[in-house]
Protein backbone atom coordinates (compact mmCIF):
# COMPACT_ATOMS: atom_id res chain seq x y z
CA UNK A 1 0.00 0.00 0.00
CA UNK A 2 1.37 3.33 -1.01
CA UNK A 3 1.43 6.62 0.73
CA UNK A 4 -1.78 7.81 -0.82
CA UNK A 5 -4.96 6.05 -1.75
CA UNK A 6 -4.10 5.36 -5.31
CA UNK A 7 -7.71 4.99 -6.28
CA UNK A 8 -9.51 7.54 -4.18
CA UNK A 9 -12.61 8.23 -6.20
CA UNK A 10 -12.34 11.96 -5.67
CA UNK A 11 -8.88 12.03 -7.17
CA UNK A 12 -10.08 9.90 -10.02
CA UNK A 13 -12.97 12.21 -10.73
CA UNK A 14 -10.84 15.32 -10.71
CA UNK A 15 -8.15 13.62 -12.73
CA UNK A 16 -10.64 12.57 -15.34
CA UNK A 17 -11.95 16.09 -15.64
CA UNK A 18 -8.44 17.45 -15.98
CA UNK A 19 -7.58 14.87 -18.57
CA UNK A 20 -10.66 15.67 -20.59
CA UNK A 21 -10.20 19.40 -20.45
CA UNK A 22 -6.53 19.45 -21.32
CA UNK A 23 -6.97 16.74 -23.92
CA UNK A 24 -9.77 18.69 -25.51
CA UNK A 25 -7.85 21.94 -25.67
CA UNK A 26 -4.78 20.15 -27.01
CA UNK A 27 -6.97 18.57 -29.64
CA UNK A 28 -8.21 21.99 -30.72
CA UNK A 29 -4.84 23.66 -30.81
CA UNK A 30 -4.04 22.83 -34.46
CA UNK A 31 -6.94 24.83 -35.85
CA UNK A 32 -5.78 27.88 -33.96
CA UNK A 33 -2.13 27.62 -34.76
CA UNK A 34 -2.87 26.98 -38.42
CA UNK A 35 -4.55 30.39 -38.36
CA UNK A 36 -1.61 31.96 -36.56
CA UNK A 37 -3.54 32.38 -33.35
CA UNK A 38 -3.07 31.27 -29.80
CA UNK A 39 -6.02 29.96 -27.89
CA UNK A 40 -6.29 33.19 -25.97
CA UNK A 41 -6.12 35.16 -29.20
CA UNK A 42 -9.07 33.21 -30.50
CA UNK A 43 -11.02 33.62 -27.31
CA UNK A 44 -10.43 37.35 -27.48
CA UNK A 45 -11.60 37.60 -31.07
CA UNK A 46 -14.61 35.47 -30.27
CA UNK A 47 -15.67 37.56 -27.32
CA UNK A 48 -15.28 40.74 -29.28
CA UNK A 49 -17.21 39.26 -32.17
CA UNK A 50 -20.10 38.38 -29.93
CA UNK A 51 -20.26 41.69 -28.17
CA UNK A 52 -22.41 44.63 -29.20
CA UNK A 53 -20.51 46.66 -31.82
CA UNK A 54 -17.85 43.96 -31.74
CA UNK A 55 -16.09 45.82 -29.01
CA UNK A 56 -15.35 45.53 -25.31
CA UNK A 57 -13.48 47.61 -22.81
CA UNK A 58 -10.12 46.24 -21.81
CA UNK A 59 -11.20 45.59 -18.27
CA UNK A 60 -14.36 43.80 -19.35
CA UNK A 61 -12.28 41.62 -21.59
CA UNK A 62 -10.10 40.85 -18.60
CA UNK A 63 -13.10 39.95 -16.50
CA UNK A 64 -14.45 37.62 -19.17
CA UNK A 65 -11.22 35.85 -19.89
CA UNK A 66 -8.99 34.36 -17.28
CA UNK A 67 -6.38 37.04 -17.88
CA UNK A 68 -5.33 39.89 -15.66
CA UNK A 69 -5.75 43.37 -17.01
CA UNK A 70 -2.08 43.55 -17.87
CA UNK A 71 -2.45 40.27 -19.67
CA UNK A 72 -5.25 41.76 -21.74
CA UNK A 73 -3.11 44.79 -22.52
CA UNK A 74 -0.51 42.54 -24.10
CA UNK A 75 -2.90 40.25 -25.93
CA UNK A 76 -4.48 43.29 -27.48
CA UNK A 77 -1.01 44.67 -28.23
CA UNK A 78 -0.26 41.55 -30.24
CA UNK A 79 -3.61 41.42 -31.97
CA UNK A 80 -3.33 45.10 -32.79
CA UNK A 81 0.12 44.56 -34.22
CA UNK A 82 -1.41 41.88 -36.46
CA UNK A 83 -4.24 44.22 -37.41
CA UNK A 84 -6.96 41.95 -36.08
CA UNK A 85 -8.07 44.32 -33.36
CA UNK A 86 -7.88 48.07 -32.86
CA UNK A 87 -8.03 50.23 -29.78
CA UNK A 88 -10.67 52.92 -29.81
CA UNK A 89 -10.90 55.60 -27.18
CA UNK A 90 -14.01 55.53 -25.07
CA UNK A 91 -15.82 58.80 -25.51
CA UNK A 92 -17.51 58.80 -22.15
CA UNK A 93 -14.49 57.86 -20.06
CA UNK A 94 -11.07 58.97 -21.12
CA UNK A 95 -9.38 56.40 -18.93
CA UNK A 96 -10.92 53.53 -20.78
CA UNK A 97 -10.47 52.19 -24.26
CA UNK A 98 -12.33 49.68 -26.33
CA UNK A 99 -10.78 46.81 -28.14
CA UNK A 100 -12.69 46.39 -31.38
CA UNK A 101 -12.56 43.84 -34.13
CA UNK A 102 -11.08 45.08 -37.39
CA UNK A 103 -12.37 43.78 -40.71
CA UNK A 104 -9.40 41.48 -40.83
CA UNK A 105 -10.18 40.32 -37.32
CA UNK A 106 -13.76 39.60 -38.22
CA UNK A 107 -12.62 37.72 -41.31
CA UNK A 108 -10.17 35.69 -39.29
CA UNK A 109 -12.85 34.81 -36.79
CA UNK A 110 -15.24 33.78 -39.52
CA UNK A 111 -12.54 31.66 -41.05
CA UNK A 112 -11.59 29.86 -37.84
CA UNK A 113 -14.90 29.53 -36.07
CA UNK A 114 -16.50 26.85 -38.26
CA UNK A 115 -13.40 24.71 -37.95
CA UNK A 116 -13.45 25.15 -34.22
CA UNK A 117 -17.13 24.30 -33.98
CA UNK A 118 -16.41 21.22 -35.95
CA UNK A 119 -13.71 20.22 -33.49
CA UNK A 120 -16.08 20.69 -30.59
CA UNK A 121 -18.60 18.53 -32.33
CA UNK A 122 -16.12 15.80 -33.04
CA UNK A 123 -14.62 15.64 -29.60
CA UNK A 124 -17.46 16.57 -27.36
CA UNK A 125 -21.02 17.13 -28.42
CA UNK A 126 -21.34 14.36 -30.95
CA UNK A 127 -19.95 11.76 -28.54
CA UNK A 128 -22.97 11.73 -26.29
CA UNK A 129 -26.60 11.06 -26.98
CA UNK A 130 -29.09 13.88 -26.73
CA UNK A 131 -30.01 12.91 -23.19
CA UNK A 132 -26.48 12.19 -22.09
CA UNK A 133 -25.32 15.55 -23.35
CA UNK A 134 -28.14 17.32 -21.59
CA UNK A 135 -27.35 15.56 -18.33
CA UNK A 136 -23.67 16.30 -18.78
CA UNK A 137 -24.31 19.98 -19.31
CA UNK A 138 -26.70 20.08 -16.38
CA UNK A 139 -23.99 18.64 -14.15
CA UNK A 140 -21.53 21.21 -15.44
CA UNK A 141 -23.98 23.99 -14.70
CA UNK A 142 -24.45 22.72 -11.17
CA UNK A 143 -20.73 22.77 -10.60
CA UNK A 144 -20.28 26.08 -12.35
CA UNK A 145 -22.81 27.72 -10.09
CA UNK A 146 -20.70 26.73 -7.11
CA UNK A 147 -17.21 27.48 -8.33
CA UNK A 148 -18.03 30.57 -10.32
CA UNK A 149 -21.04 32.31 -8.84
CA UNK A 150 -20.83 35.50 -10.89
CA UNK A 151 -19.42 34.75 -14.30
CA UNK A 152 -20.96 37.43 -16.45
CA UNK A 153 -18.84 40.55 -16.59
CA UNK A 154 -19.25 43.43 -18.99
CA UNK A 155 -22.41 41.95 -20.42
CA UNK A 156 -25.71 43.66 -20.04
CA UNK A 157 -26.97 41.82 -16.99
CA UNK A 158 -30.16 40.55 -18.52
CA UNK A 159 -28.93 38.12 -21.15
CA UNK A 160 -26.54 35.26 -21.02
CA UNK A 161 -26.73 33.51 -17.69
CA UNK A 162 -24.15 31.38 -19.37
CA UNK A 163 -21.92 32.99 -21.87
CA UNK A 164 -19.81 30.29 -23.43
CA UNK A 165 -16.06 30.16 -23.17
CA UNK A 166 -15.82 32.20 -20.00
CA UNK A 167 -12.44 31.03 -18.94
Q: What are phi and psi of 157, to 5 degrees?
A: -60, -10
**Nearest distance from C-beta of residue 123 to DNA, angstroms:** 20
Other residues' Cβ atoms within 10 Å of the Cβ of residue 161: 11
Per DSSP, the residues of 38-62 read -HHHHHHHHHHHHSGGGEEEHHHHH
Between CA 39 and CA 95 the distance in angstroms is 28
- Closest to a second copy by CB, 57 or 166: 166
For the window 76-115, what string marks contact with a second copy as x by the rule CB under 8 A?
A: -------------------------x----x--xx--x--
As measured in angstroms, the least distance from the Cβ of 2 to a second copy is 6
104 binds, among a second copy, DNA, none (CB under 5 to 8 A by kind): none
Count each helix (H run) and each strand (E run) in the chain, helices first: 6, 3
Question: CB under 5 to 8 A by kind: which of a second copy, DNA, none does 158 bind?
Answer: none
Nearest to 73 by CA among 81, 53, 163: 81
**Residues interacting with DNA, by CB under 7 A?**
38, 40, 57-60, 62, 66-78, 87, 90, 93-98
Minimum separation from the CB atom of position 134 to DNA (A): 32
Q: Which residues contact 152 (CB under 8 A, 6 or more apart)?
A: 160, 161, 163, 166
> What residues between 42 and 81 interact with a second copy by CB under 8 A?
46, 49-52, 54, 66
d(CA 89, CA 14): 44
Residues near a second copy (CB under 8 A): 2-4, 6, 8-24, 26-27, 46, 49-52, 54, 66, 101, 106, 109-110, 113, 117, 120-125, 127-128, 132-133, 135-137, 139-144, 146-148, 151, 160, 162-167
Amino acid sequence: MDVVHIDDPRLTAMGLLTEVYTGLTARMQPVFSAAGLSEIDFETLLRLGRSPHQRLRMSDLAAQTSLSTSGVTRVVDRLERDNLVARVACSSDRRASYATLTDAGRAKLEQVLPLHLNDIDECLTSLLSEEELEAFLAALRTIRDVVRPCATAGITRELAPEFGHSA
